[in-house]
Amino acid sequence: MFVPTRKKPTPANAGRKSAYVARNRAALLRATQQLLAEVGPDASIDQFAEAAEVSVSTIYKHFENKEALIAAAYIEAFHDWELWADEGLHGIEDPLEELVMPMRLFLRVKKTHPMYAAMSARNLADLPKYFHGTEEGLVEHISELMKAKIIEIESPAIRIRSISACLLAGLADQLLNPAATEKDADATVEVILSILGISPAKAKKLAHGPMPDLNK
């Protein structure tokens, strides 16, 4: 017969210890992000430890290896950007604009999130693997647009891969080309809309329309 056991009381200092560990991890990630922006992922584990002012063994208490540390730093930076970008979507009701605005904001990351932009510029080839859930979200959004007959396209999977490639190319241009402008960023979004079968006139209007205040 199963007999439930009484739960052991939580030690009084358990919450404080958990908060302490969380603060240490957050500080380690911030230092890692700074070094990734300055040096890139080729920095050694010793360099990451020195930047965070901790021992290498402390890093291994939080992360399995250097790759796990780097991945966590990129994922956290992207998550911070996502939270910020969500603010720019408030009040938008047009489903197409809901798709377009995050892309326009992302291509302005150099202006709005310079450290994340510097991190990204030093690791563009691996960047997509740190966009957790974004491709699934894109697939879902486009599926909803198709069901609502807002867009009508064939081979959506191929088009979604093309959109991802186009967006990454636009980001590379914004981060690495000193002459790139915000108008160029919006032109990238205009091309993405054409991939989705949006008419040239509507694509131009959506891709070059008003933007939220980027200084908030």
CATH of the domain at 179: 1.10.357
- Asked if 65 contacts 122 with a C-beta cutoff of 8 angstroms, the reply is no
Q: For 9-64, what is each residue's pLDDT tens digit?
A: 445 455 565 776 778 888 999 999 999 999 999 999 999 999 999 999 999 999 99
Q: For 57-116, what is each residue's pLDDT tens digit?
A: 999 999 999 999 999 999 999 999 999 998 888 888 899 999 999 999 999 999 999 999
- Asked if 74 contacts 130 with a C-beta cutoff of 8 angstroms, the reply is yes
pTM here? 0.85
One domain for residues 103 and 203: yes
Mean pLDDT score of the chain = 89
What was the pLDDT predicted at 138? 87
- Which residue type sits at 136? E
**Distance (Å, rounded) from C-alpha 75 to C-alpha 133?**
11
What was the pLDDT predicted at 7? 41
One domain for residues 139 and 166: yes
Exposure on the CB side of residue 32, measured as CA atoms within 13 A:
29
**Distance (Å, rounded) from C-alpha 42 to C-alpha 123?**
10
Q: Higher confidence at residue 183 or residue 212? A: 183
- Asked if 70 contacts 79 with a C-beta cutoff of 8 angstroms, the reply is no
Neighbours of 173 (CB within 10 A): 17
Query: What's the total number of domains in the chain?
Result: 2
One domain for residues 87 and 188: yes
Q: For 123-164, what is each residue's pLDDT tens digit?
A: 999 998 898 778 788 888 999 999 999 999 888 889 999 999
**Distance (Å, rounded) from C-alpha 172 to C-alpha 83?**
22
Exposure on the CB side of residue 57, measured as CA atoms within 13 A:
0
One domain for residues 113 and 148: yes
One domain for residues 32 and 103: no
What was the pLDDT predicted at 135? 79
CATH of the domain at 27: 1.10.10.60
Q: In the structure encoding, which two tokens stand for residue 74, read together?
A: 């990129």
Q: Tell whether the model's pLDDT for residue 212 goes beyond 60.
A: yes
- Does a structural domain hold residue 143? yes
One domain for residues 104 and 197: yes
Domain span holding position 125:
76-207
One domain for residues 105 and 65: no
What was the pLDDT predicted at 104? 96
What was the pLDDT predicted at 103? 95
